[in-house]
Amino acid sequence: MKSISDDSLDFTLYPNLLLLLWDRNCKILKAADSFDVLDERLANYIRPEWLTDDEKKVIQVLADRFGGGILNGWAQ
pLDDT band at 1 (very low <50, low <70, confident <90, very high): very low
Decide if pLDDT at 14 tops 50.
yes
So what's the pLDDT on residue 71?
86
Taking 80 as the threshold, does the pLDDT of residue 60 lie above it?
yes
Count: domains in the chain: 1
Instruction: Quick: pLDDT tens for 16-33.
Output: 999 999 999 999 999 999
Distance in angstroms (rounded) separating the CA atoms of residues 1 and 59 = 11
Q: Is the confidence at residue 67, as pLDDT, over 50?
A: yes
In a domain, 74, yes or no: no
Residue 68 backbone zone (phi > 0: left; psi -120 to 50: alpha; other: beta): left
Q: What pLDDT, on a 0 to 100 scale, did the predictor assign at position 63? A: 93
1: in domain: no
Q: Measured between alpha carbons, how far is 69 from 2 in angstroms, rounded to an integer?
A: 20
Where in the sequence is the domain holding 56, given as residue range(s)?
A: 8-66
In a domain, 46, yes or no: yes
